[in-house]
């Protein structure tokens, strides 16, 4: 059964706030207000205290949602759920200090929001009831008057107080000097009581008797009591103090029940948090890795390269950026099918990974193009040796659905800081060197050289000249066509 509640929305985006308000109202919740700044949260709470606050962290005003939550928790017992798009770990650690009941990452679906609100309200209700039970426990313990009786050596009751009489529903006249004290307890307690009396009568230095017993009043109702027997010094009389702990026992049982339910609720929350963490981890992985091969994608590759450049600038070593393109990969897709092409890409990625050292990175840019970042190299010869090691991966056939398939690769190499100091420059020059390797026969590698830029510029100029010549030739043909047309018109006129 759903728990209905009053909810305050703290959301600075107007469209999102209206959508949430409508959705939560349809779920049966009462929206006490919608605020867009952290400064307005306290005022809204004081004006109409809600049962729960749905708090965005990024709010307008001078304070954010976390600071607003701190103020609320300092003055009110209101559960708070963060609903935010902020996944920063430092912000999350700040938020935890406010003891929120949940931390939802946008976007989330309405079913998830409803379940989270229900769990938070359920947990808060149990915590309130648990606190009330504990307060009742303390009140009973601190202010209850004990029932008391005096007994002599033969266990006869000589005197009772008003509290005992009221507890047992009997008169003093019917008890005093007429009944043994064990008459008021269960048969199971009698041996315990007799032993406690003898222990107390053993002398003032003897330890007092302390035990839990069960009183039975004249109606047959049982009462759990904590019994303390102590001898009056210099006499054969003992005083018996009985503290009615029936309500205390009931409260303890209630606390145990509430604790059990609260533990189950916490288990549910922990499972939900663990599930959400797994989903977030998967989303982060998908955002930085290639879906087919599992290798780092362009985002993660560029981040690794930035880190490598920052490191090498301090240590004066070389970084090699290698761009690999499979030779004639289109033919494999056309002849063997795209499934075989995908299997080949996976096999190639596995082979390249085996070449990597601890701090090297291989990733896939897309299609049949791979990138390798070779860190902490001492010389060009080290880079050549590494390139040859990569080429060796392609000397043996790849098993594609039981069919041995040979494929080669063309590799372009750019070196930091020799060929550039930026990611864009290194990638462009390595790509240029890779195309030169393809033009010069494939199945080889080439380092970038400045002559490649000049050659590419010459080729661009030639292509531009060719386009201009074609445009000029086309224009001349159009002029000749118009001239012939005019001549035909004059002939017809004559």
Q: What is the pLDDT of residue 207?
A: 45
pLDDT tens-digit profile of 261-288? 888 888 888 888 888 888 888 888 899 9
Among positive and negative, which fits the CA dihedral 130, 262, 74, 56? negative
Cα separation, 415 vs 441, whole angstroms: 23
> pLDDT of 424-453, one tens digit each?
999 999 999 999 999 998 999 999 988 887
Tokens of 221: 């109702």
pLDDT of residue 451: 82
pLDDT of residue 260: 84
CATH classification (class only), 6-142:
alpha beta
pLDDT of residue 106: 85
Architecture of domain 145-244: 2-Layer Sandwich (3.30)
| CB within 8 Å of 437: residues ≥ 6 apart | 410, 411, 412, 444, 445, 446
In whole angstroms, give the CA distance from residue 304 to residue 310: 10
Q: The dihedral of CA 16, 22, 25, 27: what is its sign?
A: negative
Vertex 432 angle, CA 426 and 433, to 5° = 90
Residue 8 has pLDDT above 70, yes or no: yes
Tell me the domain boundaries of the chain: 6-142, 145-244, 298-448, 452-494
pLDDT of 406 > 90? The answer is yes
Place of tokens 């798009």: 85
Longest alpha-carbon distance in the chain: 160
Residue 465 pLDDT level (bands cut at 50, 70, 90): low
Q: Is the pLDDT of residue 142 over 50?
A: no
298-448: CATH topology is: Alpha-Beta Plaits (3.30.70)
Q: What is the pLDDT of residue 454?
A: 65
pLDDT band with cut points at 50, 70 and 90 for residue 165? confident
Report how far residue 329's alpha carbon sits from residue 294's, in angstroms, rounded to the nearest whole number.
20
pLDDT value, residue 164 = 83
Whole-angstrom distance, CA of residue 89 vs CA of residue 86: 9
Query: Buried (b) or exposed (e) across 416-454, using 16+ Cβ within 10 A?
Result: beebbeebeebbbbbbbbbbbbbeeeeebbbbbeeebee
Sequence-ordered alpha helix ranges (H) in 366-412? 380-392
Higher pLDDT, 291 or 138: 291
Give the closest residue to 30 by CA, choosing from 15, 11, 8, 12.
8
* Sheet containing 222-231, strands listed edge to edge, beginning at the edge strand earlier in sequence: 157-160, 147-151, 238-244, 222-231, 209-216
CA–CA separation, 74 vs 68, rounded Å?
A: 10
**Residue 99 and residue 88: Cα distance in Å, rounded?**
17
**Residue 494: per-residue pLDDT:** 46
Residues 24-58: tens digit of each pLDDT: 999 999 999 999 998 899 999 999 999 999 999 98
pLDDT score of 144: 45
* Higher-pLDDT residue of 482, 355: 355
From residue 93, give the alpha-carbon distance in Å to each of 87, 88, 161, 226. Answer: 10, 9, 58, 47
Taking all residues of the chain, what is their mean pLDDT, rounded to a whole number? 85
**Residue positions counted in the chain:** 494
Share of the chain above pLDDT 70, in %: 89
Task: Kindly give the interhelix angle for 450-493 and 423-439, rounded to the nearest 10 degrees.
Answer: 70
Instruction: Pick the more confident residue, 373 or 2.
Output: 373
């Amino acid at each position: 059964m759903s728990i209905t509640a009053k909810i305050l929305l703290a959301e600075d985006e107007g469209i999102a706030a209206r959508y949430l308000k409508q959705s939560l109202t349809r779920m049966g919740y009462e929206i006490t207000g919608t605020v867009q700044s952290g400064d307005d949260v306290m005022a809204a709470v004081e004006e109409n205290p809600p049962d729960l606050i749905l708090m965005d962290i990024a709010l307008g005003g001078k304070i954010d949602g976390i600071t607003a939550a701190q103020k609320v928790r300092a003055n009110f017992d209101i559960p708070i759920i963060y609903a935010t798009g902020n996944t920063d770990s430092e912000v999350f650690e700040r938020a935890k200090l406010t003891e929120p009941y949940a931390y939802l990452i946008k976007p989330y679906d309405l079913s998830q929001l409803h379940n989270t609100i229900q769990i938070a309200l359920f947990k808060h209700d149990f915590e309130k009831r648990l606190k009330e039970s504990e307060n009742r426990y303390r009140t009973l313990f601190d202010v209850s008057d004990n029932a008391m009786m005096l007994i002599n050596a033969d266990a006869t009751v000589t005197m009772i107080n008003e509290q005992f009489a009221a507890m047992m529903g009997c008169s003093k006249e019917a008890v005093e000097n007429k009944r043994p004290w064990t008459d008021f307890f269960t048969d199971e307690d009698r041996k315990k009581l007799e032993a406690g009396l003898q222990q107390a009568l053993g002398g003032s230095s003897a330890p007092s008797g302390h035990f839990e017993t069960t009183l039975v009043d004249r109606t047959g109702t049982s009462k759990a009591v904590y019994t303390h027997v102590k001898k009056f010094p210099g006499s054969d009389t003992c005083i018996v103090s009985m503290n009615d702990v029936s309500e205390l026992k009931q409260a303890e049982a209630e606390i145990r029940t509430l604790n059990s339910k609260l533990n189950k609720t916490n288990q549910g929350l922990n499972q939900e948090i663990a599930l959400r963490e797994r989903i977030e981890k998967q989303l982060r992985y998908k955002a930085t890795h290639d879906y087919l091969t599992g290798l780092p994608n362009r985002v993660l590759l560029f981040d690794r390269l930035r880190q490598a450049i920052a490191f090498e600038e301090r240590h004066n070593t070389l970084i090699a950026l290698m761009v690999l393109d499979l030779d004639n990969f289109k033919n494999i897709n056309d002849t063997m099918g795209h499934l075989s092409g995908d299997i080949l890409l996976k096999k190639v990625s596995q082979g390249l990974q085996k070449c990597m050292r601890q701090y090297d990175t291989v990733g896939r840019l897309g299609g049949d193009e791979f990138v390798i970042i070779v860190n902490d190299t001492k010389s060009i010869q080290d880079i050549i040796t590494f390139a040859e090691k990569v080429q060796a991966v392609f000397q043996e056939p790849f098993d594609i659905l039981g069919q041995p398939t040979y494929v080669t690769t063309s590799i372009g190499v750019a070196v930091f800081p020799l060929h550039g100091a930026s990611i864009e420059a290194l990638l462009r020059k390595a790509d240029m060197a890779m195309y030169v390797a393809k033009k010069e026969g494939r199945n080889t590698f080439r380092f970038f050289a400045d002559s490649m830029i000049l050659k590419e510029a010459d080729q661009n100029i030639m292509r531009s000249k060719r386009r201009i010549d074609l445009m000029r030739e086309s224009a001349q043909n159009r002029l000749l066509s118009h001239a012939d047309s005019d001549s035909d018109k004059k002939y017809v006129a004559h």
